[in-house]
Structure 1
Amino acid sequence: MNNNVLIIGFFLNDRNHWTSGDCGLPAIPESTKLSLFKSRYAEQSVISYECEETKDQLIEGKHRQCLNHRWNGSLPRCAKEVEAVLLKRIEITEMGGRQPLYREMKWSAVEPRRMARIVNNNAKYDTTDCPKTRFLWSVNQSQSWTFHVLRGYYFNYFSLRLRSAGGSLRQLYDQNRLQLSATMEDIISSKRCLLERFRAHDTDPLAEVISFVCDKSERQMIGAQEGVDESIEKIVVRAVVAVDDHAVNITTTFCDLRLYVLSESCGSPEKPLNSDHLVREKTYTVFTCREGFHLVGHQRVRCSPDGQWLDPFPRCLPNKTCPIPAIDRPDPNLFVQYKHFYDVNGSQYGVPDDLAIYSCVNTTTNATTKQVIGPISRVCRDGKWTGSQPGEMSNSQNDHRAKYMNAMSGLEVVEHDGVIQKVCWLEWMLAIKTVRVRPSDVFVCGYPKSGITWLQEIVCRIVSDGVVGRDGHRIVDDVMATKNNHLSSFETLDNPRIVSTHFEAKYLPSFATIDCKVIYIVRNPKDVCVSYYHFHKMLKEYGSGVDWDDFCHLFLSGQLLTGDWLSHVNDYWLTYGTRNHPNVLFIAYEELCADLTAMVGTIGRFLGKQLTAETVANIAVKCTADAMRDSFINPPEFRSNSQFIREAKVGDWKRHMTEHMSALFDKRYGDGLRAIGLPVCDHMEGAIEYMSKTGRIIQRN
């Protein structure tokens, strides 16, 4: 993949839309069960496995996580305990020596389960001493421990319970001062066993359990060899102690040996999302996809004789995917991010409505050195990326940004997730995603200077039947949430709570699954830039600032406070607008200017208010720019001669922008907006024409 391509997953939970992050039902190995069983799991879901029988051992991992349509983490297995293991004798031999240092010949044929004491009719291990302890090892020399097992057993997994004083074997192992290995041996063959894990004992707090998994290709039979009346098989554990200057004063006693067998069955296979049905046989499973999707990966996934899946599970992709990277021609300065994508065994695919977002970076320093010219985003439609790849304009000195950051130094700003934000916003930004949302809540959202204050006034009037405006309603916005301690008192506010924010959708609760109301207002970027420029000049703490031309270039490159305008709009529109979500309303600033009364009625109906024509007309009168300008009180951070509500009209950009700058805006935003199907008007005549023909500029709501 091109080094300039960054895959960033941002996933939706709407079941009716393609979502790249969700996972289907994971594979369930034989004799295991899931902590949470369902047919679909959301991105980042974590599942836990456990054995159906508490006496059995779970090996090779317990937790798995759904990431990018894939279950990450090894698939666990349950080892079933052999019921009656009979030990003939134990021998301890110094490594390299011939004569045993210790031999226990009197080990009686005792089942491990009978090594427990009966306490209140419950079998529990003695926590004061190891039952049937037979040898003591001072960890100062390498040794081999040989366990002679009598009679016939199948097993391919075993564990030792040991008690240590003065330290632990696990600690020595982690310090690379102890190596442990094992073999299973009979009169015919020898098979290697690998250390699987250390763990604490469930009921014996003084003991640690060391487990080994043996050759998985076939089960090993212990004892009962043909023609041998009383064959004795061996499990040999080799403990190699590193020779160093550190004294080792740990003493270890043996408690018991447990043998287990791993199932020959693979259990239930994974059920990928959008798969149709599975054809299951003992040694393989065949996968197919439902209509509209095609299979990527192995159609036939094999199951080995020792109960393990040999092939990765396939995925079902939409029939019309787009190639990744979305690069038509090589460009070392172009950097691409993706909102949705599908990863199958290391190969990425763009899915329907996937968004490719372009920016310019220095691939060595990761610093922005150029500016994108043309659309910054493309959409995956019918297997192709819409539009064309953008170019870039040199900005090697980055003078505009340096001037801007210097001017903003008095405002306490910080860069968060690559976007300049006010420090006072961050606490609310990090907390708002997890707030408990009520059905009566109304979220008013938009990029700065898009008319969000105007929209606040309209919403406040509507929910109060025209009586109370924004000055009489306790609105929670990005600044007030932290300054007035609204963050801690948010739960105590009366209904309906009105939350106003400039944050992108990714920082907010997922409204796709929440029954509240969200209104997003969008304004043409040329007028937004003009209004934002004057807004900066109103701030007391804003220094000498940058001139108009530099400010426009900063706006075009998304380097102003709150980040890139088009990314902000895309985040909401592609998350909710293209889905026609019933609880999310998109309105255009230009619609309010063209027919305020009609839009008050539209917003009122969306909020579920039955307003009379007289009330609607009254609200419209009180929400005109002149009425709001007369009653508006400037915030204390504004200069005394500032006028927060300035022109409040469409097309003010014509008095500020040159033809060349206007063309740059058209190139930067026009193609991108057309690609996602969002109409935006930058002149009043167009807005009126839209409204007269269809009643709305934004038709999808």
Structure 2
Amino acid sequence: MENMELPPRPKLFDFHGVSMIHHFTDNWENIRNFQARPDDILIATYPKAGTTWVSYILDLLYFGQTAPERQTSLPIYERVPFLESDFHILPPGTELADKLSTSPRLIKTHLPVQLVPKSFWEHNCRIVYVARNAKDNAVSYFHFDRMNQAHPEPGDWNNYLQRFMDGKMVFGSWYDHVTGWWERKQTHSKLHYLFYEDMVEDTGRELDRLCSFLGLSPSAEEKERVRGGAQFDTMKKNSMANYSTVPIMDFKISPFMRKGKVGDWKNHFTVAQSEQFDEDYKKKMKNTTVQFRTVV
């Protein structure tokens, strides 16, 4: 493993108005034409906003009791395929999703709302969108890009933060992403918009809301089991959930699951950066009603 020659890091390019890398566009024809099923559940997020956490919770809710062996034998990225991924170390996400034998199929995406395959809307599929405040999201993404060889080189924090504000990130602008999905929620009845900060503050309450959206009524004991299994520290140690089995991620630089906290941005932003960021944020978010908290 140590001597494995890693390919050079990819470069960003503009794809239908969104910054992308080839790993997520190489298989575009199959993504665009992907056939969703009416009972599919799509987990959508901007990267590093709690995707794996929510994927894991849904997997436990649906299959924790009926197929417990999944928890110990299949990594989360095989149980919940990443639709647009094409990393060549695994089959493309569309193929993994097509091969899923579970019902419902749980599928994850980081695509902005306008790039999601049409069939998800046509079948009125249930979608769980998870959003995280911009400052913590930027910090988490920075550490992720440092350790993930399949993403562009992040450079230093100051330049990275500027790039984040400019939307020059893989999957584009955070601002466009969270507001685009928020707008869609107003017209798509089966979209549950979940905030990372609410999950951290009271996982039980958010689990109840999620179950009621999905039409599930697990017993109190079952809910407790899901809550316990999906605790950050438990998942961080779980090789089936923490991505430690993926060769393109260098855990010596930073773990895939780093802190899972709200407010860690305070350890990264200088006062000047924070003020500049807030100023810019106000401009970019002035036309939306979605509200975020940077502390809980």
1:471 alignment counterpart: 75
1:445 alignment counterpart: 44
1:604 to 194, 205, 211: 211
C-alpha distance in 1, partners of 2:14/2:193?
28
Q: How does 1:103-502 map to 2 (within 5 A)?
A: 410-411=9-10, 413-465=12-64, 467=68, 468-469=70-71, 471=75, 474-477=79-82, 478-479=84-85, 483-488=90-95, 490-494=97-101, 495-502=103-110
C-alpha distance in 1, partners of 2:152/2:288?
37
> Normalized per residue, which structure has more strand?
1
- 2:142–2:154 Cα contact (<8 Å) kept: no
C-alpha distance in 1, partners of 2:136/2:229?
23
Amino acid at match of 1:523: R
2:115 alignment counterpart: 507
1:677 alignment counterpart: 289
TM-score w.r.t. length of structure 2: 0.84
C-alpha distance in 1, partners of 2:93/2:170?
23
C-alpha distance in 1, partners of 2:85/2:225?
30
1:524 alignment counterpart: 133
Tell me: CA distance 1:521–1:486, structure 2 relative to 1, closer, same or farther (3 Å). Answer: closer
Report the 3-state secondary structure (helix = DSSP H, G, I; strand = E; otherwise coil) of the residue aligned with 1:503.
Answer: coil
2:223 to 608, 616, 625: 616
C-alpha distance in 1, partners of 2:24/2:153?
23
Amino acid at match of 2:178: V
Deviation at 1:425, TM superposition (A): 1.3
- 2:11–2:152 Cα contact (<8 Å) kept: no
- 2:81–2:96 Cα contact (<8 Å) kept: no
Report the 3-state secondary structure (helix = DSSP H, G, I; strand = E; otherwise coil) of the residue aligned with 2:287.
Answer: helix
- Larger RCO, structure (CA 8 Å, separation 6 or more): 2
2:163 to 537, 554, 573: 554
2:201 to 576, 580, 594: 594
1:628 alignment counterpart: 235
- 1:450–1:589 Cα contact (<8 Å) kept: yes
- 1:449–1:532 Cα contact (<8 Å) kept: yes
C-alpha distance in 2, partners of 1:528/1:552?
11
1:638 to 249, 257, 271: 249
- 1:429–1:503 Cα contact (<8 Å) kept: no
Deviation at 1:507, TM superposition (A): 1.2
Q: Indicate the structure (1 or 2) with the bigger Cα radius of gyration.
A: 1
Q: Percent identity?
A: 25
Report the 3-state secondary structure (helix = DSSP H, G, I; strand = E; otherwise coil) of the residue aligned with 2:186.
Answer: helix
Aligned residue-pair number: 275
| Deviation per residue, 1:512-566 (Å, 9 max, x gap) | 4423210111100000110111111112466874211111111011112221111
- 1:430–1:507 Cα contact (<8 Å) kept: no
Amino acid at match of 1:669: Y
Amino acid at match of 1:619: V
2:260 to 641, 648, 654: 648
C-alpha distance in 2, partners of 1:653/1:489?
35
Deviation at 1:672, TM superposition (A): 4.1
C-alpha distance in 1, partners of 2:160/2:87?
29
- 1:441–1:497 Cα contact (<8 Å) kept: yes
Report the 3-state secondary structure (helix = DSSP H, G, I; strand = E; otherwise coil) of the residue aligned with 1:676.
Answer: coil
C-alpha distance in 2, partners of 1:528/1:456?
18
Deviation at 1:674, TM superposition (A): 5.1
Tell me: CA distance 1:674–1:460, structure 2 relative to 1, closer, same or farther (3 Å). Answer: farther
- 2:263–2:294 Cα contact (<8 Å) kept: yes
C-alpha distance in 2, partners of 1:540/1:432?
23
CA RMSD of aligned residues (A): 2.5
| Deviation per residue, 1:225-279 (Å, 9 max, x gap) | xxxxxxxxxxxxxxxxxxxxxxxxxxxxxxxxxxxxxxxxxxxxxxxxxxxxxxx
Deviation at 1:488, TM superposition (A): 4.2
C-alpha distance in 1, partners of 2:37/2:59?
17
- 2:130–2:194 Cα contact (<8 Å) kept: yes
Deviation at 1:652, TM superposition (A): 0.4
C-alpha distance in 2, partners of 1:544/1:670?
28
Deviation at 1:610, TM superposition (A): 1.7
Deviation at 1:509, TM superposition (A): 3.1
Amino acid at match of 1:639: D
Tell me: CA distance 1:648–1:465, structure 2 relative to 1, closer, same or farther (3 Å). Answer: same
- 2:23–2:87 Cα contact (<8 Å) kept: no
TM-score w.r.t. length of structure 1: 0.37
1:693 alignment counterpart: none
